[in-house]
């Protein structure tokens, strides 16, 4: 009996968007499960690999291979590009594809649009951190965004969908027109708090107690520790906005210490400055399991490098949803050479 060819499917961005829309709480639970698996040693998450270009120094493409065990059970890789020059032409900065592999056979079984998955897992991680890190300290009521692109939009969506309500919202971007467009988006999305466009990041920082950095900054541009006397909770998603002086005077939570302290992130610069890592309070897994409680008398900075296992967990969830809906687009006979001596012919399912 001739065995069928392993199935391979392509899941375009429209299907990804449809599958994830309105499921913010479920996605946050999946991301938390992935963090717990990672903290328990049930994942493989090697260093990210950066493809850089001498003639385009601001652009890069990153490979994030990973394996996620437990009930998630998937291997794979995310291939994500960051081309900031796209913004000028109206294209998003980032684009991505995800390849999922069967852990039993190694065969890839799906390729899907990855930018939405990447944005969703980033937003879910930020919302999860905001919820858990705000426990044991006054819950923030004044939200601020430094950087007003796609990631900021998704983070606001996840905060709103998981029960956050604010008295005021501030936005700032180096391009004022982007900040104003983001304010319009927030108002149309149902944000009930007044939204203010701030002319400078320091002005926003002084007025907000939950701050989201979602920029494309390559080097620190916030350098004054005196901007943080009100001890805000900072979701440092873009990783390179804060000077080491600020990091060293804050409680610092990361997603993975080895991953985050590299590539000239703010915490990596702090390590280079001091020669040690004692300023790292712990990981989000430590917070989830109750082994670490950050000092509420300090500003609290969450710096997530972004783990490939999170992308895989969300992508597997999308694949399962699309499959259950009967909408999986299988590529017939994608695999051709399935016999060592070329005698076996493939058949479709």
pLDDT digits (tens, 9 = 90+) for 77-108: 999 999 989 988 888 888 999 999 999 999 99
pTM of the model: 0.93
User: Is the per-residue pLDDT at 252 higher than 80?
Assistant: yes
Tell me how far the alpha carbon of residue 281 is from its chain's centroid: 21
Q: Residue 56 burial by CB count (10 A; 0-12/13-18/19+): exposed, middle or buried?
A: exposed
Q: What is the pLDDT of residue 1?
A: 46
Count the Cβ atoms, other than its own, within 10 Å of residue 242.
30
User: Is the per-residue pLDDT at 345 higher than 70?
Assistant: no
Mean residue pLDDT of the chain comes to 94
Band the pLDDT of 3: cuts 50, 70, 90: low
Band the pLDDT of 125: cuts 50, 70, 90: very high
Query: What is 90-159 written as a DSSP string?
Result: T--SEEEEEEEE-TTT--EEEEEE-HHHHHHHHHHHHHHHHHHHTTTSPPP-EEEEES-SHHHHHHHHHH
Round to whole Å and give the CA distance between 338 and 21.
38
Tell me how far the alpha carbon of residue 337 is from its chain's centroid: 37
Phi then psi for residue 267, to 5 deg, are: -70, -30
Q: Which of 32-36, 210-214, 215-219 has the lowest mean pLDDT?
A: 215-219
Q: What is the pLDDT of residue 348?
A: 46
Q: What is the pLDDT of residue 342?
A: 72
Q: Residue 52 burial by CB count (10 A; 0-12/13-18/19+): exposed, middle or buried?
A: exposed
Round to whole Å and give the CA distance between 334 and 93.
31
166 contacts 156 by C-beta, under 8 angstroms:
no
For the chain, what percent of residues have pLDDT higher than 70? 97
Q: What is the pLDDT of residue 230?
A: 96
157 contacts 188 by C-beta, under 8 angstroms:
no
281-311 burial string, b = 16+ CB within 10 Å, else e? Answer: bbbbbbbbeeeeebeeeebbbbbbbbbbbbb
Structural domains of the chain in order of their starting residue, each with its CATH number? 9-117+308-324 (3.30.1780.10), 130-303 (3.40.50.720)
Write the pLDDT tens digit of every residue in 316-326: 999 999 999 99
């Amino acid at each position: 009996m001739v065995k069928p060819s392993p199935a391979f499917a392509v899941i375009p961005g429209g299907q990804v968007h449809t599958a994830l829309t309105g499921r913010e709480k479920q996605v946050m639970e999946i991301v938390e499960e992935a963090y717990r698996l990672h903290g328990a040693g049930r994942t493989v998450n090697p260093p990210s690999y950066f493809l850089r270009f001498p003639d385009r120094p601001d652009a890069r493409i990153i490979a994030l291979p990973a394996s996620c065990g437990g009930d998630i059970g998937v291997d794979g890789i995310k291939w994500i590009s960051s081309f900031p020059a796209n913004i000028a032409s109206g294209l998003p900065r980032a684009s991505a594809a995800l390849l999922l592999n069967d852990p039993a056979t190694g065969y890839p079984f799906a390729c899907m649009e990855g930018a939405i998955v990447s944005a969703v897992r980033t937003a879910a991680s930020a919302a999860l951190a905001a919820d858990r890190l705000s426990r044991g300290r006054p819950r923030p009521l004044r939200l601020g965004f430094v950087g007003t692109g796609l990631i900021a939009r998704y983070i606001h969506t996840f905060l709103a969908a998981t029960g956050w309500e604010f008295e005021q919202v501030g936005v700032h971007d180096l391009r004022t027109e982007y900040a104003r467009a983001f304010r319009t988006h927030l108002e149309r999305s149902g944000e009930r708090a007044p939204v203010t466009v701030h002319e400078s990041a320091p002005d926003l920082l002084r007025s907000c107690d939950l701050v989201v950095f979602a920029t494309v900054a390559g080097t620190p541009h916030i350098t004054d520790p005196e901007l943080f006397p009100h001890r805000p909770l900072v979701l440092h998603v873009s990783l390179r906005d804060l000077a080491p002086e600020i990091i060293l005077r804050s409680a610092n939570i990361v997603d993975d210490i080895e991953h985050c302290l590299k590539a000239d992130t703010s915490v990596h610069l702090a390590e280079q400055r001091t020669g040690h890592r004692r300023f790292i309070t712990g990981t989000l897994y430590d917070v989830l399991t109750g082994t670490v409680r950050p000092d509420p008398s300090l500003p609290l900075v969450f710096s997530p490098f972004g783990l490939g296992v999170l992308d895989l967990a969300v992508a597997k969830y999308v694949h399962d949803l699309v499959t259950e809906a009967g909408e999986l687009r299988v590529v017939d006979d994608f695999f051709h050479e399935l016999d060592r001596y070329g005698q076996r012919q493939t058949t479709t399912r």
